[in-house]
């Protein structure tokens, strides 16, 4: 489980965009988004760097990421 602190998420469609792009690379992924706190939690077999890159690439800068159990 990884936790990403992301900026720029303002509405449910931001959350959907992030979920969609991550799901494309890992169909089994579990993603939960907390827009109010700008937090994305991910459970995936992909590594943290790869996930952060994907979120960055669609325009939501990842400010911080960490492994959370
Ligand atoms: Cu939005």
| Residue pLDDT, tens place only, 28-62 | 999 999 999 999 999 999 999 999 999 999 999 99
Tell me the CA–centroid distance for residue 13 and ligand 1, in Å: 4
- Indicate the CATH number for domain 2-67: 3.30.70.100
Q: Where are the domains of the chain?
A: 2-67
Residue 10 C-alpha from the chain's centroid: 14
Evaluate if pTM is beyond 0.85: yes
> Mapped to the 3 state alphabet, what secondary structure does 15-44 carry?
HHHHHHHHHHHCCCCEEEEECCCCEEEEEC
User: What does the alpha-carbon distance between residue 12 and residue 68 come to, in Å, rounded to a whole number?
Assistant: 24
Q: How far apart are CA 24 and CA 34, in angstroms?
A: 20
Output the pLDDT for position 69: 66
Q: What are the residues whose beta carbon lies below 5 Å from ligand 1 (ion)?
A: 10-11, 13-14
């Amino acid at each position: 489980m990884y936790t990403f602190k992301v900026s720029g998420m303002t509405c449910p469609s931001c959350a959907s965009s992030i979920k969609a792009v991550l799901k494309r690379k890992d169909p089994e992924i579990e993603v939960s988004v907390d827009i109010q706190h700008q937090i994305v939690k991910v459970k995936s077999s992909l590594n943290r760097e790869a996930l952060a890159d994907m979120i960055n690439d669609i325009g939501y800068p990842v400010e911080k990421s960490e492994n959370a159990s």
